[in-house]
Each structure stands twice: as structure tokens, then as C-alpha cells.
Amino acid sequence: MKPAHGVRQRRRPHQERSTRRVRQILDLTAQLLEREGPNRLTTNLVARELGVSVGTLYHYFPNKHSILHVLGANWLDAWQRAFDAVAALTSERTTVAEFVDLAVDNMLPVYRSQRGVQHLVQAMFTIPELRALDEHSDELAVRRLKLMFRRLRVPGAASERERLARLYLKISNTLLLETIRQKGSAARRTLADLKLVLTHLLRG
């Protein structure tokens, strides 16, 4: 999916030096997003923390939304790759409980590895320039979940499996974000509750 013009990355890195600079910008923005939140994040702040001029930053990204768009796209790509791994390990003999265990355990590291993921998800949901990215990813995830539920023989017509896929996606996203916010036994209990809820949802 091509980003809208206003959030399009200005320059695609081709040389190693440019690739390193873009990686630095993205890594630093993720740290600042975690620390400051999306509203206080600015290109001036990113440039100052990076030790470059705003003009240098603009060589790569025209505004903060374009940086967040790349961060979001990269994170959603990681989500899809984790789902690929789950799909590869799921067969017609896989039970619903086994699928849920596998899916949650594979998705959790995707949420834990992205700094500022809670603010990033919030930004993709609330910032108009990023919303299309979030909606496109959700629709792709729903289509893939529907196919997976059919393989697992989850009861119901196609429309019901779509309803379940949307619920599954919202519940898992919400509680995985809550899990990484928590620590210790609270996080473990929330993760266990998530698995119970999803298993019950798919068993009907």
C-alpha cells in the first residue's frame, strides 16, 4: 500500500550511509515516542536529539507523520511475518487452543520489541494521515484470520467467521498492549486471560 503524499518518505536510502541515517532517525523517533508521546513529538525535537539540523532531517522525511508512517508500516510488517510463522505451523489437526497458544506466543514479541508501541498504535488510530495504514492492515489481518478459522473448522458461515476475526483482532491487540504495560505476575495473568477469552470466542 502506497502512503499518502503528505506522509511519503522524501528519500529512499540507497547508500549504506543513508540507510544508517534513516535507521538512526527511526530508532530515535521510537525512543522519543515512548518518552514524550505523539503530541509532544516534533521534527525539531528529533533533529535536536539526533544532533542534526531540521533541514537535514527533511532530506529524508517531510514531517513527523511521515516518520511515524514508516515506523507503523515496519511494525505492521513484523506483525504479518509473525502471523506467517503461525500459519505455517497450523494445520487441520491443530486445535483451537493450540492455535491460540501459538498465535499469542508469536505475537507477544512483536509488541514487546517495538519501543513506544502503545503510542504508535494510538497514532495510527487517531492521526488521519496514518489511519489508512491501520485500516489497510486490519483488513488484511481479518482476511487472513478468516482463512485460518476455516482451516481450524471454527463453526459458522463466512460472515460469522469475519465477525469473529474482527473481534479476535481487537481483543488480542488490546490485551497484548495491556500485557506489555504490566509486569511480573500481572502480565502473566493477563496473558493467560487473553488465551482463555480467545479460545472461548472461537469455540462458540
Please provide the DSSP assignment of 24-65 as one string: HHHHHHHHHHHHH-TTT--HHHHHHHHTS-HHHHHTT-SSHH
Domain 65-203 has CATH 1.10.357.10: yes
Residue extents of the structural domains in the chain: 11-62, 65-203
- DSSP-derived 3-state class of residue 131: helix
Query: Which value, in Å, is the radius of gyration of the alpha carbons in the chain?
Result: 19
CB 158 within 8 A of CB 92: no
Q: For the chain, 204 residues long, give each residue's pLDDT as a single digit of tens.
A: 556 555 555 555 557 788 899 999 999 999 999 999 999 999 999 999 999 999 999 999 999 999 999 999 999 999 999 999 999 999 999 999 999 999 999 999 999 999 999 999 999 988 888 999 999 999 999 999 999 999 999 999 999 999 999 999 999 999 999 999 999 999 999 999 999 999 999 997
pLDDT for residue 15: 73
DSSP string, 100-139: HHHHHHHHHHHHHHSTTHHHHHHHHHH-HHHHHHHHHHHH
Cα separation, 16 vs 22, in Å, equals 10
Residues 6 or more apart whose Cβ sits within 8 Å of residue 138: 169
What's the confidence (pLDDT) of residue 14?
57
**3-state SS, residue 51:** coil
Cell output for 74: 515496519
The amino acid sitting at 28 is L
Asked if 169 contacts 76 with a C-beta cutoff of 8 angstroms, the reply is no
What pLDDT shows up at residue 18? 84
CATH superfamily, region 11-62: Homeodomain-like (1.10.10.60)
d(CA 66, CA 19): 16
Nearest by Cα to 25 from 2, 4, 53: 53
Contact 50, 32 (CB under 8 A): no
